[in-house]
Structure 1
Amino acid sequence: MWSDPGEVVAVDARREEFTRSGYLVLPEMVPRALIDRLVPEVDRWVDDGLRARSIACCTDTVQVSAPPVMELELPAHGALLTHPPLMDVLAQLIGSSFVFHHLHSDRHDAGRGGKPWHHDREPNASADPSLTMVHALHYLGGLDETVDSLVVLPGSHHESASKDSRTHLGTSELPDEIIIDRLPPGSTVLINSGLFHARRPAPPVSDRFRYFVDASYCQTGTQWRPAKPYWRHMLSRARSLGLDGGRWPELFAERHFTEYTQTA
């Protein structure tokens, strides 16, 4: 129970804003010490081909197997996944019972190109739009004019639309969009996973890397479609590593998921 009335008002305002707009910016959510551990892990993930192997294990329709290493097995990535301040904000926004869905990590090279307008919400077995899925987008080096920006379309999570219904628009400017392109290192943007967003490319004038990690979480109360065919192994490994810290008993529970189905 909160004892500070001012904190109650602030939390209520944060929740209302997230519900209305579908996103929340959390500057410097990731501490410097954790950033310094995460960056070399992302480099290893990309340079050693671990990311490519992880993707291959999700696209192989002949033989489903887990990759040799998963993101959450990298110590700093595991710490980020259950970073206590992040967990506390998620509990404020969607309630204290939520389950981990997936973790992605990447390093975007200069001139790589953007990612078209899309959303990332997965369906749930109840087809219940009131249950929330959240993506935590972590920008380890922050955002500025030298790297691709994040663009969001506030309120679009209230629509009933397929993930790719705006993909044909590329990364073009849309009415009412918000450009997020000035963030200090370690900043996190929480988005309702149904919110349309895009990665808009920056002019290719810099060789700076864009270090990006995203983790997603689903409100409990139904079964969600998993993102990876080896999802049971992923959740089991998270439990064996004790990543929940004893605080979040539902975070890696298998009962919150349907069977995996391959999607286009």
Structure 2
Amino acid sequence: MTPSTTLPRAGATPLDGDQLDQFARLGYLVLPGFLPDDLVSRLVPEVDRWVDEGLRTQSIACCVEPQLHGNPPVLELELEAHGELIAHPPLMDAITQLMGAEFVFHHLHSDRQPPGIAGKPWHHDYEQTPQTDRTHPMVHALHYLDGLDEDTSSLAVLPGSHHEVAEKNARAHLGTGRLPGEVVIDSLPRGSTVVLHSALFHARRPRPDGPGKDRYFVDASYCRTGTLWPPVKPYWRHMLSRARELGLDRGRWPELFAERHFTEYARPS
């Protein structure tokens, strides 16, 4: 990890005062080895299935052409370990500390990214149209199932940029280039999680040429209640309904899959 940062103890909950202060000031928190090995071991083959059976491709098609494809045949959260991950109790405890007791699940993305995957330019993922304020936090939990090392692409973050009110693509013209003050997260053990304030600018920086290895990645997002959030998937109601049917809230977080916290879906222009 460059430049160096102080990492919290692996899998630790609750978060301590230094961690909460770092998240408030810098907009991110690194949790090495946060996920239990048993959960990671069950998630990895589910990601393989999601990619190899074309389920990921079909879910994307349902977002791009919803009128043609309707709902996906399988949702990520219908995969047992993925559904378990959404409301993994230590994760819920950490998010409660970071943004309050009532929050709603926004979406889940899962992928097995090949070593030669292109970079993703600087952007943020805070859902607001237009971008006007940051009164209600939204977070993304980025789970690196097989960790990060020199054989995978890295995550670059721009500390403090979540305090800006800017469009998602305000720095996209910079590509994945280095920025003053950035932090590069490139060395994490298996099952690590990076929690970002969703308004934090970040980029996926491609790895140098060479053999490399696949990068197993699951991204889950959550929003504080109290405002209406734009959904990013046209089948968002179906997604939340299935989560409720499957009891993924474990009976502990009644607002986690409530539809009333969202606006209607609007296709990106």
TM-score of the superposition, structure 2-length normalised?
Answer: 0.92
Q: Is the 8 A contact 1:42 1:105 kept in 2?
A: yes
- Farther off after superposition, 127-136 or 55-64: 55-64
Instruction: After TM superposition, give the deviation of residue 62 of structure 1 in Å.
Output: 3.5
2:138 to 116, 133, 137: 133
Q: Name the residue aligned to 1:198.
A: 203
Match of 1:173, as an amino acid?
A: R
Q: Name the residue aligned to 2:230.
A: 225
Q: Name the residue aligned to 2:46.
A: 41
Instruction: After TM superposition, give the deviation of residue 156 of structure 1 in Å.
Output: 0.5
In the alignment, structure 1 residue 95 sits paired with structure 2 residue 103: no
Q: 1:190 is paired with a residue of what secondary structure?
A: strand
Q: Name the residue aligned to 1:67.
A: 72
Q: Name the residue aligned to 2:34.
A: 29
In the alignment, structure 1 residue 235 sits paired with structure 2 residue 237: no
Q: 1:53 is paired with a residue of what secondary structure?
A: helix
Match of 2:248, as an amino acid?
A: L
Match of 1:39, as an amino acid?
A: V
Structure 2: gaps spanning 5 or more residues: 1-11
Q: 2:104 is paired with a residue of what secondary structure?
A: strand
Match of 1:135, as an amino acid?
A: H
Alignment of 1:160-239 (within 5 A): 160-239=165-244
Q: Name the residue aligned to 2:113.
A: 108
Match of 1:205, as an amino acid?
A: G
Structure 1: gaps spanning 5 or more residues: 1-6
When the two chains are superposed, the root-mean-square deviation of aligned CA atoms in Å is: 1.9
Q: Name the residue aligned to 2:88.
A: 83
Q: 2:16 is paired with a residue of what secondary structure?
A: helix
CA distance in 1, matches of 2:246, 2:129: 27
CA distance in 1, matches of 2:255, 2:161: 29
Number of residue pairs matched? 258
Q: Is the 8 A contact 1:125 1:222 kept in 2?
A: no
Match of 2:135, as an amino acid?
A: S
CA distance in 2, matches of 1:60, 1:186: 34
Q: Name the residue aligned to 2:6.
A: none
Segments of 4+ moved more than 4 angstroms: 7-10, 124-128
- Farther off after superposition, 62-71 or 254-263: 62-71
Q: 1:136 is paired with a residue of what secondary structure?
A: strand
Percent of aligned pairs with the same amino acid: 63
In the alignment, structure 1 residue 20 sits paired with structure 2 residue 25: yes
Q: Is the 8 A contact 2:13 2:94 kept in 1?
A: no
Q: Name the residue aligned to 1:246.
A: 251
CA distance in 2, matches of 1:13, 1:40: 35
